Amino acid sequence: MRNRLFCGIAVLLAVFAATNLNAQDTGVITGTVRDNTGAVIQGADVKISGTAGGIERATTTNSDGDYLAAGLPGGTYNLTITAKGFKTFKGNGVILRVAQKARVDATLAVGDIGTEIVVQGEQLNQVETQTSELAGTVTGRQMTQLELNGRNYTQLLSLTPGATNQSGNDEPTGGLDSVVYSVNGGRTEYNNWEVDGGNNMDDGSNTTLLTFPSVDAIAEVRVLSSNYGAQYGRNSSGTVEVETKSGTRSFHGVAYEFVRNQAFNARNYFASGVTPYKKNDFGYTIGGPVYIPNVYNRDHG
């Protein structure tokens, strides 16, 4: 009994701690609900759910017809908006990037609430109108298809506008050369580095990171170059937000091996052979749902 209770409390504390850390890298979906005449609809029910499972938000529109759902990790979401006397509005496939403030407006048609109007994500207005920040995002799909020499996620910064590698080394080792990036001409030591909303910079040296997540564990990388909010005010240059992958309803995984050796290298014209070089990076990943144990049994024994 005590062991089960202890396990349950430990899991709940871990969940609360993770929620607290995600404060800075979570996004927002907001918008205005109107009818066909352009008048706002007050009291409409708005439900937002993640397509991968585990994320559910419910809210209602205010007197101005506005709704807001905060604390959302990056991912794909479905919206369902209902109001008495109007057809149900469904917006499927709304893509929310890391720390993005997306706006999705909806127009409800008069009719039976049992009738649905479904709009796919690519047809929804998802223009960034809630903030003036300039940012670039490297998606999980890009990471799985790019060839990173050394498989260090910090190399992804070079794919975003305004970020340049100042180390002169194309294969970061996880040391000082991994964080030497200038964002929009700023000093290399003035960047914010965060993983899941928590500070990832070694505050003592200010020149190295505390952890280097595997690229297989990263969902997205977002680089904010300027005009970002005060919550990122620790340093004056760029902010690098890394969001790791979350679980889904089913277990999944992958095994991999990345090989580099002299068989793939060209021979220098003046050399008699190819310099020996061997490098093998192999491993596996597994992910899935997390189940909270039942603390009490039927007889509370």
Whichever domain contains 178, its CATH number is 2.170.130.10
Q: Are residues 184 and 259 in the same domain?
A: no
Q: In the listed set 224, 244, 264, which residue is the last one of a domain according to the structure?
A: 244
Contact 6, 292 (CB under 8 A): no
Q: Are residues 33 and 77 in the same domain?
A: yes
| Number of domains composing the chain | 3
Question: Are β-strands 106-108 and 278-287 bridged in parallel, bridged antiparallel, or unpaired?
Answer: unpaired
Residue where one domain finishes, among candidates 91, 123, 155: 123
Same domain, 79 and 183: no
Same domain, 283 and 228: no
pLDDT of residue 24: 61
Q: What is the pLDDT of residue 18?
A: 44
pLDDT of the residue at 4: 54
176 is a domain residue: yes
Task: For residue 276, give the 3-state DSSP assignment.
Answer: coil
Q: Are residues 218 and 256 in the same domain?
A: no
pLDDT value at residue 168: 72
Buried b (16+ CB within 10 A) or exposed e, 27-54: bbbbbbbbbeeeeebeebbbebebebee
Co-location of 143 and 113 in the same domain: no
Which has the closest alpha carbon to 224: 21, 64, 12, 24?
A: 24
- In tens digits, the chain (301 residues) has pLDDT values of 455 555 555 444 444 444 444 456 678 899 999 999 999 999 999 999 988 777 889 999 999 999 999 888 888 899 999 999 999 999 998 888 887 888 899 999 998 888 888 887 655 655 566 565 667 788 777 877 777 777 788 888 888 888 888 877 766 666 666 788 888 888 888 888 889 888 888 887 777 888 888 888 888 888 887 766 666 667 778 888 888 887 677 787 888 888 888 888 888 889 888 888 888 888 888 877 777 776 655 555 4
Does 155 share its domain with 227?
yes
d(CA 105, CA 84): 18
Q: Are residues 45 and 88 in the same domain?
A: yes
Q: What is the pLDDT of residue 26?
A: 79
The reply to whether 47 and 113 lie within a common domain is: yes
* Residue where one domain finishes, among candidates 94, 123, 152: 123
The domain that holds 8 is classified in CATH as 2.60.40.1120
Whether 67 maps to a domain, the answer reads yes
| 298 is a domain residue | no
Residue 155 lies in a domain: yes
Same domain, yes or no, for 27 and 74?
Answer: yes
Q: Is 301 part of any domain? A: no
Rounded to the nearest 10°, the torsion over CA 224, 230, 232, 235 is: 100
* Domain interval for residue 193: 134-244
Same domain, yes or no, for 25 and 113?
yes
Q: Would you state the pLDDT for residue 22?
A: 43
Rounded Cα distance between 191 and 208, Å, is 11
Query: Is residue 53 one of the residues assigned to a domain?
Result: yes
Contact 27, 99 (CB under 8 A): yes
